[in-house]
Amino acid sequence: QSNCHVISTIRTKQDYVLNDKDGKMIPQKVGLKGITRDGFDYEFTIVFDVDISHQAVASKDRTMLFVDKPAEIISSEHGMKILEWCNSGISASDLKSKIISANSEAEINQILNDNLESMNALAPRCKQEDSRTKKRF
């Protein structure tokens, strides 16, 4: 619930599954697993998986900036792209003002379509405010 941007790292460990081989359960390595509470990555806009050679690939990316890109070393250029994306949104009050000043349903639909990403980001906060004030956004 921070009003600032947060960059976080998590520790990983080798993950195993048990496979039946000749009547014995044999552990088999299946890759790395983050040590977090369940659903932790759900909270993030972008999740980069960084391998031992420092190559990163986005395993989750709601910005669509890094989807289907090859693995590469994260640089300040990545940070600038993320910052630009963060600053490209619209505030809740500005969006509300645009909707209120719209002259037609078609204009409201256009505002909503142009700001789908912002609307999705604001929706949880609007629901919170709605539950406290019993008012609709």
pLDDT (tens digit, 0 to 9) for every residue of the chain, 137 residues total? 677 888 888 888 888 889 988 888 998 888 777 788 887 767 788 989 888 899 999 988 888 899 999 999 999 999 999 998 888 777 777 888 888 898 998 988 888 888 776 666 656 555 555 454 554 44
- Residue 64 vs residues 8, 67, 82: alpha-carbon distances, Å: 19, 5, 10
Backbone φ and ψ of 44, nearest 5°: -100, 150
DSSP state at residue 102: -
Instruction: Give CA–CA dist 67/61, Å, rounded.
Output: 6
CA atoms of 99 and 108, how far apart (whole Å): 6
Contacts of 66-73 with CB under 8 Å at 24 or more apart are: none
- AA letter at 10: I
Give the model confidence (pLDDT) of 1-37 as tens digits.
677 888 888 888 888 889 988 888 998 888 777 788 8
